[in-house]
């Protein structure tokens, strides 16, 4: 295992009178979900390797309110939003990066109307930027020639028109990027959005994540790449349901890069 993670907090920066380049918004899944924590750590390893000056809010972070808003609880959403904005503004945060498209969408699009104005980027966009600026370098390594299909998270793709950053990163791994039947603008939801993650699905013929996994399997992938902790869980469950977990891995873009760089 590589060296210990360096995870500074905003409070520490504040105490030393400096500001980091970017705030890493970890999100609830990234903080608490065992699978998603691996994504968080992979991303931090890359940040550490690239010597990016970043900080997290740590215990001062709270849910953005996305699931409450999508479930229809505008009141709870705004309570969360206003509280978070107070914290962010108190630290004079300018730029935020997050690995969760739901946090990304909410902070980027819905917080400005409530007084929270920040430059918000998804971690795939940030990694692409680091690559372009030469602050990280990537070699194919473990993924050279592997068939990878990318599942577009709705709240990154359709909701915010980010389609190319994650794909560019996959191509940089010298991997073979294969597209599913429904991709980009017409990508099929993993089934978790709109607060579905937290409830049983309505009655139907099958669950959405199974349908999506079937589309992914049609591309005969070795890896299903995702850019959202919820999509990751849904696709992982789908692959398990099809009993393919031994041959197909579901990985976040940050994990792909961290693994390729042996971090």
The reply on whether position 44 binds another protein by CB under 8 A is yes
Structure tokens at 55: 């900080």
The reply on whether position 20 binds another protein by CB under 8 A is no
Of 188-217, binders to another protein (CB under 8 A) are: 188-189, 191-208, 210-212
Of 214-253, binders to another protein (CB under 8 A) are: none
Structure tokens at 124: 């795939």
Question: What is the smallest separation between the CB atom of 246 and another protein, expressed in angstroms?
Answer: 25
Neighbours of 72 (CB within 10 A): 11
Distance of CA 139 to the CA centre of its chain: 22
Residue 57 near residue 30, CB atoms below 8 Å? no
Neighbours of 37 (CB within 10 A): 15
Of 88-147, binders to another protein (CB under 8 A) are: 105, 108-110, 113-114
Cβ nearer to another protein, comparing 199 with 220 = 199
Question: What is the smallest separation between the CB atom of 23 and another protein, expressed in angstroms?
Answer: 14
- Work out which of 136, 154, 165, 223 binds another protein, going by CB under 8 A: 154
Q: How far is CA 96 from CA 48, 116, 253, in A?
A: 17, 11, 18
Q: Which residues pair with 22 in a beta bridge?
A: 54
**Contact range with another protein by CB under 8 A, out of 12-20, 39-47, 142-150, 252-260:** 39-47
**Contact range with another protein by CB under 8 A, out of 47-55, 87-95, 119-127, 156-164:** 156-164
The reply on whether position 62 binds another protein by CB under 8 A is yes
Q: How many residues bind another protein (CB under 8 A)?
A: 73
Cβ nearer to another protein, comparing 19 with 210 = 210
Of 158-177, binders to another protein (CB under 8 A) are: 158-161
**Contact range with another protein by CB under 8 A, out of 90-98, 121-129, 185-193, 250-258:** 185-193
Structure tokens at 117: 């104005």
Question: What is the smallest separation between the CB atom of 133 and another protein, expressed in angstroms?
Answer: 26
- Work out which of 1, 17, 134, 243 binds another protein, going by CB under 8 A: 1
Cβ nearer to another protein, comparing 141 with 194 = 194
Question: What is the smallest separation between the CB atom of 197 and another protein, expressed in angstroms?
Answer: 8
The reply on whether position 35 binds another protein by CB under 8 A is no
- Work out which of 59, 133, 243, 246 binds another protein, going by CB under 8 A: 59
């Amino acid at each position: 295992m590589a060296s210990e993670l360096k995870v500074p907090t905003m409070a520490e920066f504040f105490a030393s009178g400096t500001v980091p380049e970017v705030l890493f918004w970890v999100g609830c899944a990234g903080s608490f979900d065992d699978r998603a924590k691996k994504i968080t750590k992979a991303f931090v390893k890359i940040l550490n390797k690239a010597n990016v000056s970043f900080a997290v809010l740590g215990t001062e972070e709270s849910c953005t309110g996305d699931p409450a808003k999508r479930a229809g609880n505008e009141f709870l959403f705004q309570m969360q939003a206003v509280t978070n904005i107070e914290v962010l503004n108190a630290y004079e945060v300018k730029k935020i990066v997050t690995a969760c498209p739901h946090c990304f969408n909410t902070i980027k699009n819905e917080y400005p109307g409530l007084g929270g104005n920040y430059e918000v980027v998804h971690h795939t966009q940030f990694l692409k930027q680091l690559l372009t600026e030469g602050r990280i370098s990537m070699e194919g390594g473990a993924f050279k020639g592997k068939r990878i299909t990318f599942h577009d998270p709705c709240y990154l793709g359709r909701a915010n028109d980010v389609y190319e950053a994650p794909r560019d990163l996959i191509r940089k791994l010298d991997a073979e990027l294969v597209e599913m039947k429904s991709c980009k603008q017409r990508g099929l939801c993993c089934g978790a959005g709109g607060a579905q993650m937290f409830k049983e699905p309505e009655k139907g013929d099958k669950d959405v994540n199974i349908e999506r996994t079937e589309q992914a399997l049609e591309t005969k992938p070795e890896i299903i790449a995702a850019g959202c902790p919820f999509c990751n869980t849904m696709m992982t469950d789908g692959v398990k349901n099809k009993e393919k977990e031994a041959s197909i891995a579901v990985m976040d873009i940050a994990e792909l890069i961290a693994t390729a760089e042996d971090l």
